[in-house]
Chain A
């Protein structure tokens, strides 16, 4: 495995985390290839089924994020804490994959009683990222991100990609 490529993949995952935390949707999508696919999935022990809470192409995500200003939403910022656990690079096919763990904290702003709650940070989500990448020379881009949530009590939920 190329140490440089693995390091570049780690950097890319962390850069994506920063873009998502900053609501920099275009910056995040710029890290993704044209055929990028995104999904948020979870297994429900209640109905004993694997579920897909959200999925879409790069274009779907661009449309979704473009429409966000036209929606009422909870603007409480999300902070993702990502740790890359595993990176696998296949130099021959120019592909790679990675598994990262994440927690997302939500710092209350305007989703509840802001006078009392604003400023409080609460655990929002726990899960893992399963990412796939395309390597083209020195360039690495996401081609797939599957967000697998452990959290299934999602209360108000969110309009934002995780």
Chain B
């Protein structure tokens, strides 16, 4: 079979149905990217950190969603709240540190207050403005502190203690409703007792964020990790189901991993999570780009922050049980990092692959067709997870993923053609 000329290259494979591919412009177009931030990332629930990262009253964490600076604080009432991390005075970023505590005063402000270092405006843990420097001298009676409080953001602690934030006040769903049942498979293991983060690192990868989500959604890339995944290549592995849930989420069913089949590894049966059979492996991929991966003894969570069409920051967290004794915690850390750490067996390979995709689909690259057309009874190598995701993407964007020039209803969307 000869390689194809340009005309043939530009035609979809004859045997695939419409909707079983996407147009590469959805991974590279600057305008589409800006539209995604506005229509998706500013409208949906995003997990931003874990509550164990701010265990004490007055602890805080900072982050961003769709370029908007966000701060999460724990109040003296132990409630976790989220605010825009922007001073109402002159729009300075209020807190620049990644994390810390407001218990102690800062160079410009008092203890137990969030203080903008620029002009020393201060806010309490509920976002109320409680101090304006030289207020009367400058504003006389024209400005009320209650008119210059912080911008409060929707915030919930849910699903194993993750802190979820939504920039859209009009979001009509709670986090549980947004999850639409996709958490159920892991609800008992992750909600049985408090969890704690033990691992954090970040990667900035030159590729579109959806390419990383695709990789988390499909297991056909087992061949990328062939000698590692050999541990799992058995009938039970190939029978794992990919199940789509409303709102674009996908759950990958479990099976028992034979860790001792990989040279240098031992069985991980001794350490698990409550209600999770030893060595089992569940995965939840949530729209628009979060991944919860419970593999035996450790929970991994990927949170993406899209930076540009061809750049994404991925924050990797590893979690165990807060009640872990030192020996158990050490085992979880080792199990997590031998696979998923920055020097582990799998993560480096996954990131290498999406970097290669990013190089081939940079913003100025020719339009390409990306296939999502494998059907294997909705099991592990079936690409239904990606088809499910892109159908949801099409609805939020009102564009066809196969041809983003067309509206969702006009395009050949897989779920529309094959409901």
Chain A 18-70 interface residues, beta-carbon cutoff 8 Å to B: 40, 42, 44-49, 51-55, 59-60, 63-64, 66-67, 70
Interface residue from B98, B227, B337 paired with A67 (Cβ < 8 Å): B227
Q: How many A-B residue pairs have CB under 8 A?
A: 119
Interface presence of B263 (CB below 8 A): yes
Contact string against B for A residues 132-162, beta-carbon threshold 8 Å, 1 for contact and 0 otherwise: 0000000000000000000011111111111
CB neighbours (8 Å) of B334 from chain A are 52, 55
| Inter-subunit contact A154/B201 (CB<8 Å) | yes
| Contacts A53-B342, A54-B337, A159-B343; A48 near B202 (Cβ below 8 A) | no
Closest CB of chain A to B351's CB: distance in Å?
Answer: 4
**Which of A46, A67, A72, A74: most chain B CB closer than 10 A?**
A46
CA distance A21 to B227 in the complex (A): 25
Closest CB of chain B to A110's CB: distance in Å?
Answer: 9
Interface presence of B87 (CB below 8 A): no
Chain A, residue nearest B317 (CB): A47
CB neighbours (8 Å) of B180 from chain A are none
Contact string against A for B residues 175-205, beta-carbon threshold 8 Å, 1 for contact and 0 otherwise: 0000000000000000000000111111111
Chain A, residue nearest B199 (CB): A51
Interface size grouping (class) on chain A: 35 or more
| Inter-subunit contact A111/B202 (CB<8 Å) | no
| Inter-subunit contact B98/A153 (CB<8 Å) | no
Chain A 90-146 interface residues, beta-carbon cutoff 8 Å to B: 111-113
| Inter-subunit contact A46/B204 (CB<8 Å) | no
| Inter-subunit contact A71/B337 (CB<8 Å) | no
Interface presence of B206 (CB below 8 A): yes
Closest CB of chain B to A109's CB: distance in Å?
Answer: 12
Closest CB of chain B to A155's CB: distance in Å?
Answer: 5
CB neighbours (8 Å) of A53 from chain B are 199, 201, 337, 341-343
CB neighbours (8 Å) of B197 from chain A are 47, 49
Chain A, interface SS category: loop
Closest CB of chain B to A26's CB: distance in Å?
Answer: 16
Interface presence of B398 (CB below 8 A): no
Interface presence of B93 (CB below 8 A): no
CA distance A45 to B97 in the complex (A): 9
| Contacts A53-B337, A67-B263, A70-B227; A152 near B348 (Cβ below 8 A) | no
| Inter-subunit contact B201/A67 (CB<8 Å) | no
| Inter-subunit contact B205/A155 (CB<8 Å) | yes
| Inter-subunit contact B203/A156 (CB<8 Å) | yes
CB neighbours (8 Å) of B343 from chain A are 40, 53-54, 157-162
Contact string against A for B residues 38-72, beta-carbon threshold 8 Å, 1 for contact and 0 otherwise: 00000000000000110000000100000000000
Chain B, residue nearest A59 (CB): B264
Closest CB of chain A to B403's CB: distance in Å?
Answer: 27
CB neighbours (8 Å) of A55 from chain B are 334, 337
| Inter-subunit contact B264/A153 (CB<8 Å) | no
| Inter-subunit contact B342/A158 (CB<8 Å) | yes
| Inter-subunit contact A45/B348 (CB<8 Å) | no
Chain B, residue nearest A161 (CB): B343
Closest CB of chain B to A98's CB: distance in Å?
Answer: 22
CB neighbours (8 Å) of B97 from chain A are 45
| Inter-subunit contact B53/A157 (CB<8 Å) | no
CB neighbours (8 Å) of A40 from chain B are 343
Closest CB of chain B to A111's CB: distance in Å?
Answer: 6
| Inter-subunit contact B264/A159 (CB<8 Å) | no
Measured CB to CB, the residues of A under 8 A from B are: 40, 42, 44-49, 51-55, 59-60, 63-64, 66-67, 70-74, 111-113, 152-162
Q: A55-B337, A153-B203 are in contact. List 7 more A-B contacts (CB 8 A).
A: A45-B99, A46-B98, A54-B338, A72-B352, A73-B352, A157-B343, A161-B343
List 28 interface pairs A-B (beta carbons < 8 Å), by A numbering: A42-B201, A44-B200, A46-B53, A46-B98, A47-B197, A48-B99, A49-B197, A52-B330, A52-B333, A53-B199, A53-B201, A54-B338, A63-B263, A63-B264, A64-B264, A72-B224, A112-B355, A152-B200, A152-B202, A154-B201, A155-B203, A156-B352, A157-B343, A157-B347, A157-B348, A159-B348, A160-B343, A161-B343
